[in-house]
Structure 1
Amino acid sequence: MARVLSPLAAFDIAEDGRASPVAEDWPVAAPRAGARWRWLHLDVTNPAMAGWAAEHLPEVAAAALSQPETRPRCGALGAGLILNLRGVNMNPGQESDDMVSLRMWVGEALIVSARVRKVFAVDALRQAALAGHAPPTPDAFLLRLTEGLTDRIEAVSLALEDATDTLEEEIFDHDRFDADALAPTRRKVIRLRRYIGPQREALNRLAQSPLPLIGPEIRPMLAETANRATRAVEELDAVSARLAALQEHVNAELAARMGRNGYVLSVVAAIFLPLGFFTGLFGVNLAGIPGTAAPDAFTILTVTLSALGLGLFALFRWRKWL
Structure 2
Amino acid sequence: MKIRHVNQGVFTAVEDIHATVVPPAQGFYWIDADVDDLSVLQPIFSIHELAVEDCLSEEEQRPKIEIYESHYFIVINSIRFDDEEIFLRALNIFLGRHYIITVTKQKINELRTLKPILLEDQVSRPDRFLYHLVDIVVDNYFLVGDRIEARIESLEEDILVHTKKSHLNEIIGLRSEILWLKKVLGPQKELIATLNKKDLKLIDDQLQKYFSDIYENAVKIAETFETYRDLMGNLREAYQSSLANRANEIMRVFTALTTIFMPLTFITGIYGMNFDFIPGLHLHGGSYILLTFMLLLGFGMFFIFRKKEWL
SS across alignment from 1:97: strand
CA shift, 1:258, in A, is 1.9
SS of structure 1 residue aligned to 2:202: coil
Counterpart in the other structure of 2:188: 199
Q: 1:139 aligns with which of 122, 127, 145?
A: 127
C-alpha displacement at 1:189, in angstroms? 4.8
Point out where structure 2 has 5 or more consecutive residues left out of the alignment.
none
Aligned 8 A contact 1:83 1:103 in 2? yes
SS at 1:23 equivalent: coil
1:200 aligned partner, one-letter code: K
Instruction: State whether residues 72 and 83 of structure 1, in contact with CA within 8 Å, keep that contact through their aligned partners in structure 2.
Output: no
Identify, as 1 or 2, the structure richer in helix.
Answer: 2
Alignment-derived partner of residue 161 in structure 2:
176
Q: Distance in 1 between matches of 2:111 and 2:299?
A: 77
Identify the range of structure 1 (301-310 vs 244-253) with the bigger mean alpha-carbon deviation: 301-310
Which of 10, 32, 40 does residue 52 from structure 1 map onto? 40
2:1 matched to 1:11? no
Matched position secondary structure for 1:295:
coil
CA 233–209 in structure 1, closer or farther in 2 if over 3 Å, else same: same
State the shift of 1:259 in Å: 0.5
Deviation at 1:117, TM superposition (A): 2.4
Any conservation in 2 of the 1:121–1:145 contact (CA below 8 Å)?
yes
Asked if 2 retains the 8 angstrom alpha-carbon contact of 1:282 and 1:289, the reply is no
Q: CA deviation at 1:75?
A: 2.6
Is residue 84–residue 102 contact of structure 1 (8 Å, CA) maintained in 2? yes
Residue 218 of structure 1 deviates from its aligned partner by 1.2
Question: Number of residue pairs matched?
Answer: 302
> After the TM superposition, which residues 1-322 of structure 1 pair with which residues of structure 2 at under 5 Å, given as runs?
7=1, 9-13=2-6, 19-24=11-16, 27=18, 30-35=21-26, 37-44=28-35, 46=36, 49-55=37-43, 56-79=46-69, 80-89=71-80, 97-126=86-115, 135-161=123-149, 164=152, 170=157, 176=161, 183=170, 186=174, 189=178, 192-273=181-262, 275-276=264-265, 278-279=267-268, 282-283=271-272, 290=278, 293-295=282-284, 297-298=286-287, 301-302=290-291
RMSD: 4.3
- Aligned residue for 1:112, secondary structure, equals strand
Task: Tell me how far 1:300 sits from its aligned partner.
Answer: 6.3
Unaligned 5+ runs, structure 1: 1-6
Counterpart of 2:109, as a letter, is: F
Structure 1 vs Structure 2: percent identity of aligned residues?
21
Instruction: Give TM-score, length-normalised by structure 1.
Output: 0.72
Deviation digits for residues 9-51 of structure 1, max 9, x if unmatched? Answer: 212445x555543211x5477344525543211123x4xx242
Question: Closer, same or farther in 2 for the Cα pair 1:315/1:142, shift >3 Å?
Answer: closer
Using the TM superposition, give the Cα deviation of residue 146 of structure 1 relative to its aligned residue in structure 2, in angstroms.
Answer: 0.9
Query: Contact (CA 8 Å) 1:88, 1:149: kept in 2 or not?
Result: yes
What CA distance in whole angstroms lies between the structure 1 residues aligned with 2:18 and 2:271?
A: 100
Shift of 1:263: 2.1
Amino acid at match of 1:176: V
TM-score where L is the length of structure 2: 0.74
* Maintained 8 Å contact 2:48/2:68: no
Partner Cα separation in structure 1 for residue 241 and residue 51 of structure 2: 52
The match for 1:3 is none
Change (3 A) 1:147 1:181: farther
Answer yes or no: is the 8 Å Cα contact 1:53–1:62 preserved in 2: no
1:288 Cα deviation from its structure 2 partner: 5.4
CA distance in 1, matches of 2:79, 2:243: 35
For residues 236-294 of structure 1, what are the alpha-carbon distances to aligned partners after superposition, in whole Å with 9 as ceiling and x for unaligned?
Answer: 3223423432442243133213212212312321341453355256447x685856644
Which moves more between the two structures, 197-206 or 29-38?
A: 29-38
Residues 278 and 203 (structure 1 numbering): CA distance in 2 closer, same or farther, change over 3 Å?
Answer: same
> Cα distance 1:159–1:321, how it changes in 2: closer, same or farther (>3 A)?
closer
**Quick one: distance in 2 between partners of 1:309 and 1:19?**
85
CA contact (8 A) 1:12 1:35 kept: no
User: Do 1:88 and 1:96's aligned partners in 2 also have CA atoms closer than 8 Å?
Assistant: no
Give per-residue Cα distances to partners, 1:127-172, cap 9 Å, x unaligned. Answer: 667x69763222211111111112222233234445556666x579
1:214 match: secondary structure: coil
Distance 1:301 1:133, change over 3 A: closer
AA matched with 2:53: A
